């Protein structure tokens, strides 16, 4: 948990300095929800958190004020509410360039507030880091994933399908990622382009795309 938080530590520091956050946090493309829950628990301005995903996780169990929406929520088809602070963690690179532009424009047009955070950038160093993180991390931590599953162990160790698929997915994600300059170029011709910043703390670097009320 400590290492996972370290990746987002600079973003938490950044949010703590923001003075216009809504107390309702709404996370898009949540997956398991771990990054969003960590940020929610560490940023005092937030009072409630809604997690959502196009393919919602079935292995989640949260207590109020955290709610995981069980119905499918497609970020590209979402109607954004100006009373929420929307977030997205390490999922933006999965969208095609025109979808990224469409999503940013839609959030802006509906006068909503959002913080899109990417932990990946293109480059050989990131590829090497992701390769070792995915392989060693999968081998070391698979037995501790809850709920426990013998099937998961079978396809991680004797038949390493999970090991290869997780590593492959990580490397493909690096290839799909963009640098700070590439994001700036992508949104350069957008009406009221978002603010894009790169945050660094220790060995970790994040790109944050911020959309605020007009």
Count: domains in the chain: 2
106 and 192 share one domain: yes
pLDDT at position 129 is 83
112 and 132 share one domain: no
Q: How is residue 12 written in tokens?
A: 């938490």
- Which helix (H) or strand (E) element contains residue 173? helix 161-176
Q: Which parts of the chain are beta strand (E)?
A: 24-28, 48-51, 66-68, 84-89, 113-118, 195-201, 204-211
Confidence of residue 204 (pLDDT cuts 50, 70, 90): confident
For 14-69, the pLDDT digits (tens) are 999 988 899 999 999 999 899 999 999 999 999 999 999 999 988 788 999 999 99
31 and 129 share one domain: no
Determine if the pTM surpasses 0.85.
yes
Q: Judge whether 57 and 32 are in contact, CB under 8 Å.
A: yes
87 and 166 share one domain: no
d(CA 42, CA 176): 29
Q: Note down the domain range covering 104.
A: 2-122+177-211
pLDDT at position 2 is 44
């Amino acid at each position: 948990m400590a290492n996972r938080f370290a990746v987002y530590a600079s973003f938490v520091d950044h949010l703590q300095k923001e003075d216009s956050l809504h107390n309702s946090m709404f996370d898009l493309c949540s997956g398991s929800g771990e990054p969003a829950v960590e940020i929610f628990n560490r940023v005092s301005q937030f009072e409630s958190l809604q997690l959502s995903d196009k393919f919602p996780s079935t292995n989640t169990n949260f207590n109020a004020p955290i709610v995981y929406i069980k119905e499918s929520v497609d970020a590209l088809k979402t109607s954004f509410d100006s009373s929420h602070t929307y977030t997205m963690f390490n999922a933006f690179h999965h969208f095609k360039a025109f979808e990224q532009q469409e999503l940013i424009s839609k959030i802006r047009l509906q006068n909503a507030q959002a913080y899109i955070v990417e932990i990946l950038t293109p480059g050989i160093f990131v590829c090497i880091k992701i390769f070792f993180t995915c392989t060693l991390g999968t081998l070391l931590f698979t037995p501790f994933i809850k709920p426990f599953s013998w099937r998961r162990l079978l396809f991680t160790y004797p038949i390493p399908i999970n090991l290869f698929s997780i590593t492959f997915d990580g490397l493909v994600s690096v290839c799909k990622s963009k640098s700070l300059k590439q994001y700036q170029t992508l949104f350069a011709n957008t009406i009221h382009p978002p603010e894009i910043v790169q945050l660094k703390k220790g060995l970790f670097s994040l790109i944050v795309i911020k959309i605020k009320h007009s």
